[in-house]
A and B are shown apart, each in its own frame.
Chain A
């Protein structure tokens, strides 16, 4: 009974974090918001009975992509001008 409510909250959180990752001017904040998106998406995949996709999303979306993005951001300036 309570699980559809949690599921809808998770889906709204995905949309909110996706919009936030476009909205921020600070690139590191964008990347952290994208990481939160991947983390919430992992829970949604696990809820939808796809645990192997959830593992792949947690490892690649929330860890490796963020690491590569942050290494790329080191080579740029911090704030958008």
Chain B
């Protein structure tokens, strides 16, 4: 038994060591050295391409119209995997809500908490109670920026949604608003389902070719179809076809999903009378 665990540990460490030795060099394409050279105007250019990295670097901008190659892989080439991730998050939120439901059902929102917002709390610091009000708009704006510019700069729907959800976590520790945020849990839950439904609906919109086909990418230049040049450039906001819409859907889903988790768990942990709820 002890020998087996030691052997498996040595095996895992050996695999990790070999993986570290064979890592991709940072910042360099692995394949042909001419992959970053100038390319023609063809949409798909397969000359001198031998690895998958080279294909994405050389054709990603022309095929999807997105300057962020990572976003083009996440939402376009591997869009179905992102649907799987969003479904996993949805499942996590659903199971947490289901587990907490029996406790939540026995907790009633006290009526005397309703007007507490007018009385400033005296037992916590003013920095904790008022600091979140200053920081919350900044965090929401940064998250919305990450979602909206997902196809141009690092970030995307998942990262922007997580940043906005950390704003919800900040709002929870300012006890002025906490009593009221648990009233909107159903609204959060609705918008979480809406984000996933928008993603699947956009996937079915291009069903004529395939599921999640980026049918807007080389279409109308005024509506998300603007072509971008090859190589490093600032890009345009109305390029990349479906990618900004999918990024927005994932951003909505992640923001409201993680907010539902936080609000539910905070509501369960609040007031400390969980033992009474279990006994009764």
What CA separation (Å) do A48 and B27 show in the bound complex? 8
Q: Which A residues touch B27, using CB under 8 A?
A: 49
Interface pair A68/B154, CB less than 8 Å apart: no
Could you say which of B166, B258, B269 contacts A74, with CB atoms under 8 Å apart?
B269
Q: Which B residues touch A29, using CB under 8 A?
A: none
- A22, CB-defined interface residue at 8 Å: no
Number of residues on chain A facing chain B (CB within 8 A)? 16
Interface pair A75/B158, CB less than 8 Å apart: no
Q: Which B residues touch A75, using CB under 8 A?
A: 268-269, 274
- A9, CB-defined interface residue at 8 Å: no
Q: Which A residues touch B172, using CB under 8 A?
A: 67
Given contacts A71-B269, A75-B269, contact A59 B26 (CB under 8 A): no
Interface pair B159/A55, CB less than 8 Å apart: yes
Nearest opposing residue in chain A for B274, CB measure: A75
Could you say which of B159, B165, B258 contacts A52, with CB atoms under 8 Å apart?
B159
Chain A contact residues: helix, strand, loop or mixed: helix
Range of interface residues on chain B? 20 to 34
What CA separation (Å) do A56 and B155 show in the bound complex? 8
Given contacts A60-B162, A64-B165, A67-B169, contact A55 B146 (CB under 8 A): yes
Within the complex, the shortest CB–CB distance from A25 to chain B, in Å, comes to 22
Interface string of B266-279 (1 = CB under 8 A from A): 10110010100000
Given contacts A67-B169, A68-B265, contact A55 B155 (CB under 8 A): yes
Within the complex, the shortest CB–CB distance from B259 to chain A, in Å, comes to 10
Interface pair A64/B169, CB less than 8 Å apart: yes
What CA separation (Å) do A74 and B268 show in the bound complex? 10
- B241, CB-defined interface residue at 8 Å: no
B residues with a Cβ closer than 8 A to A are 26-27, 68, 70, 146, 154-156, 158-159, 162-163, 165-166, 169, 172, 258, 261-262, 265-266, 268-269, 272, 274
A residues with a Cβ closer than 8 A to B are 48-49, 51-52, 55-56, 59-60, 63-64, 67-68, 71-72, 74-75
